[in-house]
Amino acid sequence: MKRESIYKRYIPKFQQVIANDDNTYWFIFNSDKLLVKTIDNNEVAIPTAISVEELNIPFTSIHYMGTLNEHNCYAVNTSSIELQDNSMSFKPLKSLYDYLDEDIFLLSGKALQIIKWDETHKYCGRCGSLTDTMEGEYGKVCPKCGFISYPRISPAVITAVIKDGQILMAHNKSFPGNRHSIIAGFVEPGETLEECVRREISEEVGIKVKNIKYFSSQPWPFPNSLMVGFVAEYESGEICVDGKEITKAGWFKELDTIELPSKMSIAREIIDWYREKYCSK
């Protein structure tokens, strides 16, 4: 089952229209680490306060993001790691994957991308002049040459390949332990999404696919991706891993012998779809 859209609860805006309250969300990053507050049962949450000053965190930039459940949200960049509240700490965003609510994780990823874009586009990529931040959108404009830059989004595809009721699962060399997932890769210039699906699968596991169908998509802030999910049918060829990214791969019906991706990922969403469709009969 596809996840419910965050945009039923989150309204993106560039200008604040309601006053801050005690439940205003502050997505505060130091590099790629997010400030979280540990609460009961070792659960973690985003700090909330009327102002960032109440949290005693000095900031280098602050960006309004809109509202979540009618509470304002801000992306904040800080270079400080000193904290006066012992219940708060900076954690790598990826390590919080299974601990934050999905809405909060997705907004944390958006906040991180906005902060990184602001950091890396202070100067014009064409002439090197200091840029100005545009009003009403996430954009940087060069006052000298007029060049405009926006936050970078890098599309990637992720695909479940089905053969005789089995799913292709692969172990990437970057995965911990015995974790397996479906095949993914970045779209290259000049490619359609479907062409990227075919190329990545051919390059990484040596097979051909057919009947490629769109499944769903998910923003992925590591570092600035949009994951576009597909389901495809096996066409021909024998599995032959590239040995560079993929170290082993195979056809699976029962998935109890391998570790699966987090339930918050689109990879797991597609895998769970496969299990419901093919393994519950």
Tell me the whole-structure pTM to 2 decimals.
Answer: 0.90
Distance CA 74, CA 48 (A): 10
Element (H, E) at 111: helix 102-120
Tens-place pLDDT, residues 225-243: 999 999 999 999 999 999 9
Residue 145 structure tokens: 């040459």
> Residue 79 — left, alpha, or beta (φ > 0 → left; ψ -120 to 50 → alpha)?
alpha
Read off the DSSP letter of residue 249: E
**Percent with pLDDT over 90 in the chain:** 86
Tens-place pLDDT, residues 61-77: 999 999 999 999 999 99
The answer to whether 152 and 182 are in contact (CB under 8 A) is no
